[in-house]
Amino acid sequence: MNILISSCLLGEDVRYDAKSSSSSIKDKELFNKIINEFKIFSICPEVSGGLSIPRPPSEIVNDKVITTDGLDVTKMFNKGALNTLSYCKDNNIKIAILKSKSPSCGNSMVYDGTFTSTLKKSKGITTKLLQENGIKVFNETQLEQFCDYIKSSLK
């Protein structure tokens, strides 16, 4: 089975601050088991959409993605989401583990657009598009749920 995983979770320094997010994975043993059992495909939608490393932090404000210095980067986030969807279709990927809270990849909570580290219930740009196209998205705190989903879908 082909699985999409956010590049930052796999240790690539692609986040806005030029770091990885591998330290946010609490159950490293289970994560390593997952990456060893499945064929893994990696992408950072933000970099794929043309954003630099490093880059100013971005948050979703209404229907736009805005950086801390006021730049509208919505087009790049949308391009990254479309590139990610295309990548999934090209590689028959139906399930993903993406970075929580990200304006691209968050699947349940994202920052609220005030740049005060306040979270709101919502989804990132890429996650919304993937889910609209039938791709199941989990985050790095939902590895048990990911495994349960895989087990139930293989029955």
Q: Tens place of pLDDT for every residue, the chain, 155 residues? A: 999 999 999 999 999 999 999 999 999 999 999 999 999 999 999 999 999 999 999 999 998 999 999 999 999 999 999 999 999 999 999 999 999 999 999 999 999 999 999 999 999 999 999 999 999 999 999 999 999 999 998 76
Stated pTM of the model: 0.96
Q: Which residues of 7-42 are buried (b: 16+ CB within 10 A; e: fewer)?
A: bbbbebebbbeeebbeeebeeeeebeebbeeeeebb
- Provide the CA 44 distance to its chain's centre, in angstroms: 7
Range(s) of the domain holding residue 38: 2-153
> How many domains are there within the chain?
1
